[in-house]
């Protein structure tokens, strides 16, 4: 019996999920609980037929259901309608790799999304993350569960020449309110891997709406342009602040916040709720390639990108640290 089958038998993920204004039917989604005695979190496990997330946008390893620290909640369902193949039906720190080989593939041929699999290109249209692409090969997932961490390994070999072994560990740090995402990517194919990976950070702090109580802070003076910037949301020194609560279905977006330097110390982001005191501090051992920002009425999402390149046989590694805290009022 493989590790994933054993997990399904150990964990009994039968529950009713209540979305924002929508009650979903009872479903069986493979999942696992983690705790270090300070943080409690539940993750959905990758599964091609019963997995909570089956979209072709985000990495299937480390899809979150919930996370709590003290009496504060940080991860919840932020979207209204759910479908397992919907591109953004995923919660918490969701990671996406830019595609490999899409531009070179002809319609009907395949391209690769790390952490997802080999996908089929349907036509000559440009790649779009919101589309669902038919999966030609899911690759091989191996999951190893421990009390305070889960190790995910995804292995894939594509006829185009791309191949990789991707390892991701979700770890709760002993004695601290910290969670670390540890990654390594080994190029096992014949073609060089050149991609970027970003974390969407779908946090919902204490289920509070997006508005003036939300504070986004950086270690640099931030400049921002885009939808809603300068009116609904404004850059003030090293912070982004909202002038009012966002309305249902309203969004703000910037394709690239400016002001950071290409050093790891600038990958330093805080998301806080001034009303409840809940905060999360996000850092990495890598510099940011770019910094996208998106928000809707339920979640505010800095999206820091990291550039990755690996020649055949080469391994690259990186980590992201999430520190959870409670501000003194």
Least reliable range by pLDDT among 16-20, 127-131, 290-294:
16-20
| Beta carbons within 10 angstroms of residue 251's beta carbon | 14
Query: Is residue 237 included in any domain, yes or no?
Result: yes
| pLDDT at 27 exceeding the cut of 70 | no
- The mean pLDDT of 18-42, rounded to a whole number, is 73
| pLDDT at 38 exceeding the cut of 50 | yes
Supply the mean pLDDT for the chain: 92
Please report where in the chains the tokens 């279905």 appear, as a residue: 249
Q: Is 13 helix (H, G, I), strand (E, B) or coil?
A: coil
Least reliable range by pLDDT among 24-38, 71-85, 206-220, 221-235:
24-38
Residue 259 to residues 127, 219, 235, 283, Cα–Cα distance (Å)? 29, 9, 11, 17
| pLDDT at 203 exceeding the cut of 90 | yes
* pLDDT value of position 19: 37
| pLDDT at 2 exceeding the cut of 80 | no
How many domains, in total, are found in the chain?
Answer: 1
Query: Is residue 40 included in any domain, yes or no?
Result: yes
Model pLDDT for residues 230-263, shown as the tens digit of each residue: 999 999 999 999 999 999 999 999 999 999 999 9
* pLDDT value of position 127: 98
Looking at per-residue confidence, does 107 or 4 come out higher? 107
| Of the candidates 209, 269, 219, the residue with the CA atom closest to the CA atom of residue 242 | 209
Query: Is residue 287 included in any domain, yes or no?
Result: yes
Helix extents (H) in 146-260: none
Query: Is residue 21 included in any domain, yes or no?
Result: no
Query: Is residue 12 included in any domain, yes or no?
Result: no
**Separation CA 101–CA 135 (nearest Å):** 15
* pLDDT value of position 28: 80
Query: Is residue 1 included in any domain, yes or no?
Result: no
**Separation CA 174–CA 194 (nearest Å):** 34
* pLDDT value of position 207: 95
| pLDDT at 5 exceeding the cut of 60 | no
Model pLDDT for residues 311-323, shown as the tens digit of each residue: 999 999 999 999 9
- The mean pLDDT of 281-306, rounded to a whole number, is 98
* pLDDT value of position 158: 93
Distance of CA 182 to the CA centre of its chain: 13
* pLDDT value of position 328: 77
| pLDDT at 4 exceeding the cut of 70 | no
- The mean pLDDT of 267-291, rounded to a whole number, is 98
| Of the candidates 141, 129, 119, 180, the residue with the CA atom closest to the CA atom of residue 30 | 141
CATH number of the domain at 242, please.
2.70.98.10
| pLDDT at 9 exceeding the cut of 80 | no
Q: Is 215 helix (H, G, I), strand (E, B) or coil?
A: strand
Please report where in the chains the tokens 């003036």 appear, as a residue: 212
| pLDDT at 39 exceeding the cut of 60 | yes
| pLDDT at 1 exceeding the cut of 60 | no
* pLDDT value of position 3: 46
Query: Is residue 16 included in any domain, yes or no?
Result: no
Query: Is residue 46 included in any domain, yes or no?
Result: yes
Domain residue limits at 183: 30-329
| pLDDT at 24 exceeding the cut of 80 | no
Model pLDDT for residues 103-114, shown as the tens digit of each residue: 999 999 999 999
């Amino acid at each position: 019996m493989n590790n994933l089958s054993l997990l399904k038998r150990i964990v009994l993920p039968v529950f009713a999920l209540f979305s924002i204004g929508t009650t979903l039917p009872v479903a069986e989604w493979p999942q696992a609980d983690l705790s270090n005695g300070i943080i409690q979190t539940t993750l959905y496990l990758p599964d091609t037929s019963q997995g909570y997330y089956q979209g072709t946008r985000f990495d299937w390893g480390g899809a979150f259901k919930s996370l709590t620290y003290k009496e504060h909640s940080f991860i919840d369902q932020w979207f209204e309608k759910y479908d397992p193949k919907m591109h953004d039906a995923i919660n918490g720190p969701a990671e996406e790799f830019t595609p490999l080989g899409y531009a070179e593939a002809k319609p009907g041929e395949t391209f690769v999304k790390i952490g997802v699999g080999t996908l089929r290109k349907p036509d000559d249209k440009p790649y779009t993350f919101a589309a669902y692409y038919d999966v030609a090969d899911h690759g091989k997932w191996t999951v190893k569960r421990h009390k305070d961490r889960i190790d995910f390994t995804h292995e894939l070999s594509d006829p185009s020449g791309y191949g990789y072994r991707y390892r991701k560990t979700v770890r709760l740090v002993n004695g601290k309110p910290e969670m670390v995402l540890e990654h390594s990517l080994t190029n096992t194919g014949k073609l060089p891997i050149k991609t970027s990976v970003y974390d969407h950070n779908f946090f919902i702090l204490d289920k509070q709406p997006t508005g003036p109580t939300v504070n986004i802070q950086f270690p640099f003076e931030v400049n921002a342009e885009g939808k809603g910037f300068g009116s609904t949301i404004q850059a003030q020194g090293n912070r982004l602040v909202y002038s009012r609560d966002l309305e249902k279905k309203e969004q703000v977006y910037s394709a690239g916040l400016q002001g950071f330097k290409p050093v790891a110390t600038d990958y330093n982001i805080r998301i806080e709720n001034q009303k409840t005191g809940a905060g999360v501090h996000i850092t990495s051992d890598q510099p940011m390639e770019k910094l996208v920002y998106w928000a809707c009425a339920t979640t505010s999402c800095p999206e820091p990108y990291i550039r990755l390149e690996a020649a055949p046989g080469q391994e690259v590694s990186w980590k992201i640290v999430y520190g959870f805290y409670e501000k003194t009022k």
